[in-house]
A and B are shown apart, each in its own frame.
Chain A
Amino acid sequence: MDITIPEFKHTISLKSEWQQDFIQGLDCTVVDNKRIDFPERMASGSGYFVKISRAVSVFIVDLVLNEPMRFTRMPSEEDFWIVYYDMSDNYSKHFVDGVKHKTGYKSKLGFAIIDSHHESTYVSSVGERVYSLRLCIRKSFVKSYFQDVTLEKDFKNIFDDEKGRMFYYGHIDSRSKVALYNLKQQSMNDTNYEFLLKSTVHKLFGYFVERLNSNAQSRGLFLEKDLNAIMKTQEYLLSNLLLPFPGLKLLSEIANMSISKYRNLYRNVFGMSPASFFKNEKLILAKELLESRNFKLISDIAYELGYNKISYFSEVYKKHHGDLPHTVFKAKLD
């Protein structure tokens, strides 16, 4: 975690008092007791908080940061879950108890369930739209919706106060995604925003409960342990982009899994194979290198990235980016 970025600590709870943290700590203004406007120098945009019932509340953040900032939510005494949906245009980094996770619309994992007893930190890039919604749901309330048996052992732990300090990451399911996309297009200033938000929240809650009630495969949630292992291999790939693809065998060894388990899990988490991920990242790097002006020849870049034939490099590059390396390279030189 980059500790040079200023940190803002706040709490969140089911009631609205925590908004005081934002007013005092960040000079935010609260409109109607719901909308939280951020000071212009820090971020353009707003947060929006509504208490839906005694057991459910919702907090939306829709802003573009103008200066770097870390938001750290302090652990809470209250017993609730934070169900977190990230629809940001780009990656946001999300740390739970110091462990890094990438979330966001483009990263495949935009969904998380976090226990309120955890601390979590949110770091986002400056100048990009951040859009995230958090449902705070009292645990006892969710419990009442469960049809007893179907929850498996892994998942039951979440209700167990002793072991309850778990969290899950996963994909946002389709219906929730469509509902959120719809809400994302609405302006918080509109008079009907509160109704549309409440409508969305009820839907999301319904989908959430349905999801927890469905069987394990279709639930699409991953255990923290597995996910960390997968992330580790992904970081390995990212830090070795200049080498050839290391092969599934090595990766699965890093993750400490069998090859088939690793392959399936990777595909489920990222929606593509490790090899395609590696190729995509390589080509993104290629674009950066082409634009960097540090190279005199395209062939140098191709060799640097481990492509032996320039024509092949040009071909895959064009397939991915839509135009030839030459175009970008020349544009930069001019």
Chain B
Amino acid sequence: MKTVTYNYNSSLNWVDVLAEATGGCLEGNFIKGDNEMFKGTHFFLPIEDGITAMLIDTTYKEEVLLKYRNENNNFIGFHFYLTNLDIDFILDDEVTLLGKLNYNLSIVDCTIDLDYIVKKGTRLFVICILFDKEALKKYFSKITPIADIILDAQKNTVIRLDRMGTESLILINDFRKISSDSSLYKVYFKGLVYGLIGNCLEQLNNKKIIIDKTITADIKNIIASKTMLQNSIEGPFPGVNFLAEQVAMSPSKYKILFAKISGVNPGTYFYNNKLNRAKELLETGKFTVNEVAHKLNYANVSYLAKRFNEMYGIYPKEYQNLF
């Protein structure tokens, strides 16, 4: 297995090192690479004082061990992962899975050595937001529970693994529609990064449960069930009984667990995602509102319009007209 060692920090002098390590070439804010190991880009951008962000969008052509080693210890990284295959995330000789049905958000102190094993054919899409500890203190000190978790020197191991909220996923998916050639790419990227930080803070502030180091089978089932809901977003809501049965849980347990993980109950989750889908369909300009309502199994247009307006503050027809 090939091994690549990275080194990065919140000031940008690691960029050259990264370019060299990956065998890519530096073009503006992009490192583009296409070799026997991987194909893809790394895009990095200083956001503001003390915050730098990087977007990794690569497809690996062989199994690789990625090692992250850092010499300075003044920053903390927030990582948002979107992958097609699970990645082995090795920490203190313990392996955790990162991926679609596992954790997809990590908050890590830079002093920790991180190893990832990426399988052949993995499409890795990661957004890393690197916070200077000083900058972080400035924002987090106001939220005591977070300050305790994040800035406690004693617990300064991997701070936490988590799953990002639906809003964050929607933000990232919206951003992925923008071409990297666009002159506004950086502007939208900054917007994305700020949005992710904002959501993440809220999540840290409000989250009822902190998932343990290993994800239990139950939680995994719920996550799988969420994915299933996503895939059947155009049809009717299958009902909690059916969903619970599929993952062999009682409906009440299913509902409680689902709400704990997602912050909303299964129905709300489903219908909010449906509306988001409606919004996306309208943006394509290929469908009338009526067609969208029909396609997404709404009983009638006016009901879709009502819900759409509740969610987005604008009626679908108007949304389409002003687009």
Show the binding face of A for B, using Cβ within 8 Å. Answer: 87, 145, 147, 171-175, 177-178, 180-182, 184, 190-196, 198-203, 205-206, 209-210, 220, 271
20 A-B pairs with C-beta separation under 8 A: A171-B322, A172-B322, A174-B314, A174-B323, A177-B314, A178-B319, A190-B202, A191-B143, A191-B205, A192-B197, A192-B201, A195-B195, A198-B190, A198-B191, A198-B194, A199-B191, A199-B195, A202-B194, A205-B187, A220-B322
Q: Which residues of B lie under 8 Å from residue A87 when comparing CB positions?
A: 313
State A182–B202 Cα separation when bound (angstroms): 14
Is B242 in contact with chain A by the CB < 8 A criterion? no
Contact of B188 among A181, A194, A203 (CB under 8 A): A203
A145 and B322 form a contact (CB under 8 A) = no
Q: Which residues of B lie under 8 Å from residue A171 when comparing CB positions?
A: 322
Q: Which residue of A lies closest to B313 (CB)?
A: A181
A196 and B312 form a contact (CB under 8 A) = no
| Cβ of B107 to closest chain A Cβ, rounded Å | 15
Q: Which residues of B lie under 8 Å from residue A203 when comparing CB positions?
A: 188, 191
Enumerate B281-323 residues with CB–CB distance to A below 8 Å: 312-314, 318-323
Is B154 in contact with chain A by the CB < 8 A criterion? no
State A182–B313 Cα separation when bound (angstroms): 8
Q: Which residue of A lies closest to B186 (CB)?
A: A202
10 nearest CB pairs, A to B: A181-B313, A202-B191, A195-B198, A199-B195, A199-B194, A192-B201, A196-B198, A198-B194, A174-B319, A192-B198
Given A172-B322, A174-B320, A175-B323: A191 and B188 within 8 A (CB)? no
Q: Which residues of A lie under 8 Å from residue B139 when comparing CB positions?
A: 191, 194
Q: Which residues of A lie under 8 Å from residue B323 when comparing CB positions?
A: 173-175
Q: Which residue of B lies closest to A56 (CB)?
A: B187
Given A177-B314, A178-B314: A202 and B188 within 8 A (CB)? yes
Q: Which residues of B lie under 8 Å from residue A193 when comparing CB positions?
A: 198
Taken residue by residue from 179 to 196, chain B's Cβ proximity to chain A (1 for < 8 Å, 0 otherwise) reads as 000011001101111110
State A192–B204 Cα separation when bound (angstroms): 11
State A178–B143 Cα separation when bound (angstroms): 28
A206 and B191 form a contact (CB under 8 A) = yes
Taken residue by residue from 194 to 214, chain B's Cβ proximity to chain A (1 for < 8 Å, 0 otherwise) reads as 110111011001000000000
Q: Which residues of A lie under 8 Å from residue B188 when comparing CB positions?
A: 202-203, 206
State A192–B319 Cα separation when bound (angstroms): 28
Q: Which residues of A lie under 8 Å from residue B202 when comparing CB positions?
A: 190, 192
Is B142 in contact with chain A by the CB < 8 A criterion? yes
Taken residue by residue from 73 to 96, chain B's Cβ proximity to chain A (1 for < 8 Å, 0 otherwise) reads as 000000000000000000000000
Q: Which residues of B lie under 8 Å from residue A205 when comparing CB positions?
A: 187
Q: Which residue of B lies closest to A209 (CB)?
A: B184
Q: Which residue of A lies closest to B178 (CB)?
A: A206
Q: Which residues of B lie under 8 Å from residue A147 when comparing CB positions?
A: 183
B194 and A195 form a contact (CB under 8 A) = yes
State A79–B196 Cα separation when bound (angstroms): 33
State A209–B187 Cα separation when bound (angstroms): 10
A191 and B142 form a contact (CB under 8 A) = yes
